[in-house]
Amino acid sequence: MEYLKNIFVFDAHNPIIFTQLYFWGFFAIVLAFFSLIYQRKALRNAYLFFVSLFFYYKTSGIFLLILLFSTVMDFYLARFIYQSASSVRKKVLVTISIFVNLFVLFYFKYSYLVTDSLNYLLGLDIKPHNYFAEMANFFGGNFDVDRIILPVGISFYTFQTISYSVDVFRGKLKPVESLLDFGFFVAFFPQLVAGPIVRASDFIPQLYKDYKLTHYEFGLAIFWILKGLMKKMFISDYIAVNFVDRVFGNPLAYSGFENLMALYGYSLQVYADFSGYTDIAIGVALLMGFQLVTNFNSPYKALHVSEFWKRWHISLSTWLKDYLYIPMGGNRKGSIFSYIMFSIIMLYVAFLFKHWLVVPVFLLLLTAVVVVAKKSPRIRRAIDTNINLMLTMLIGGLWHGASWRFVIWGGLNGIGLVVYKYWRKISPFKGNHTWPVRLYSIFLTFNFISFTRIWFRADSIEQANNLMFKIANDWTFSLIPTMILAYKEIFAVILFGMTVHWLSDSFKQKYQNWFINSSIYVKGAISVIVFFMIYQVRSADLQPFIYFQF
DSSP string, 419-470: HHHHHHHH-TTTT---HHHHHHHHHHHHHHHHHHHHHHH-SSHHHHHHHHHH
- Residues 432 and 377 occupy one common structural domain: no
The total number of structural domains in the chain stands at 3
Q: What residue type is 456 in one-letter code?
A: F
Final residue before a domain boundary, out of 211, 245, 264: 211
Residues 264 and 182 occupy one common structural domain: no
pLDDT at 299 over 70: yes
Give domain status of residue 441, yes or no: yes
Q: For residue 196, is the peptide bond before it cis, meaning its omega torsion is within 30 degrees of 0?
A: yes
Residue 148: pLDDT over 90: no
Q: How far apart are the C-alpha atoms of 548 and 278, rounded to whole Å? A: 12
Residue 281: the pLDDT is 92
- Distances in whole angstroms, Cα of residue 418 to Cα of each of 213, 301, 427: 44, 20, 14
Query: Has residue 408 been placed in a domain?
Result: no
Share of the chain above pLDDT 70, in %: 85
- Residues 293-311, mean pLDDT to the nearest whole number: 92
Q: Are residues 86 and 123 in the same domain?
A: yes
Last residue of a domain, one of 211, 231, 249: 211
The mean pLDDT value for 115-141 works out to 71
Confidence of residue 514 (pLDDT cuts 50, 70, 90): very high
Question: End of a domain among 166, 192, 211?
Answer: 211
Instruction: Say yes or no to pLDDT of 154 above 90.
Output: no
Global pTM value: 0.88
Mean pLDDT of 114-124: 73
Please check whether residue 85 lies inside any domain of the structure.
yes
Q: Give the C-alpha separation, 360 to 163, whole Å.
A: 35
Listed range (29-33, 55-59, 144-148, 426-430) with the worst mean pLDDT:
144-148
Instruction: Please report whether residue 361 resides in a domain.
Output: yes
> With contact defined as beta carbons under 8 Å apart, do 102 and 163 qualify?
no
How far is the C-alpha of 482 from the C-alpha of 38, rounded, in Å? 59
Query: Per-residue confidence at 413, pLDDT binned at 50, 70, 90?
Result: very high
Span of 19-28, 85-94, 346-355 with lowest mean pLDDT:
346-355
Residue 520, H or E segment: helix 520-537
| 194 in the same domain as 226 | no
**Choice among 340-344, 349-353, 361-365 with the minimum mean pLDDT:** 349-353
| pLDDT for the residue numbered 17 | 78
Residue 470 binned pLDDT confidence (cut-offs 50, 70, 90): very high
Same domain, residue pair 20 and 148: yes
pLDDT digits (tens, 9 = 90+) for 197-239: 888 888 999 998 989 889 999 999 999 999 999 998 889 989 9
Task: Give the model's pLDDT for residue 243.
Answer: 92
Residue 244 lies in a domain: yes
Please report the DSSP string for 341-359 in residue order. HHHHHHHHHHHHHT-TTHH
**Average pLDDT over all residues of the chain:** 84
Q: Which domain holds residue 87?
A: 2-211
**What is the per-residue pLDDT for 428?**
79
| CA torsion, ordered 43, 49, 50, 52, to nearest 10 deg | 140
Q: What share of the chain is helix, strand, coil (3-state, %, to 5)?
A: 75, 0, 25
Chain-centre distance of CA 118, in angstroms? 29
Dihedral sign, CA of 20, 21, 25, 31? positive
Residues 477 and 528 in one domain: yes
pLDDT of residue 77: 94
pLDDT-derived band at 51 (thresholds 50, 70, 90) equals: very high
Query: Do 368 and 478 fall into the same domain?
Result: no
Q: Is residue 271 part of a domain?
A: yes
* 98, part of any domain: yes
In the predicted structure, residue 195 carries a pLDDT above the cut 90: no
Neighbours of 502 (CB within 10 A): 12
Same domain assignment for residues 247 and 352? no
CA distances for 366 relative to 18, 300, 338, 351, 363, angstroms:
47, 36, 12, 17, 5
Residue 322 has pLDDT above 80, yes or no: yes
Which is higher by pLDDT, 522 or 384?
522
Whether 380 and 259 map to the same domain: the answer is no
Confidence of residue 18 (pLDDT cuts 50, 70, 90): confident
CA-to-CA separations, 503 to 301, 443, 447, in angstroms, rounded: 9, 15, 19
Domain-embedded: residue 410:
no
**Mean of the pLDDT values across residues 436-451?**
92
Identify whether residues 207 and 238 lie together within a single domain. no
Is the per-residue pLDDT at 23 higher than 70? yes
Do 348 and 491 belong together in one domain?
A: no
Predicted pLDDT at 130 = 75
Q: Are residues 86 and 182 in the same domain?
A: yes
* 373 — pLDDT class (breaks 50, 70, 90): low
- Mean pLDDT for 112-116 is 76
> Could you give the CA distance from residue 350 to residue 369 in angstroms, rounded to a whole number?
18
Higher pLDDT, 378 or 153: 153
Q: Would the pLDDT of 531 be above 60?
A: yes
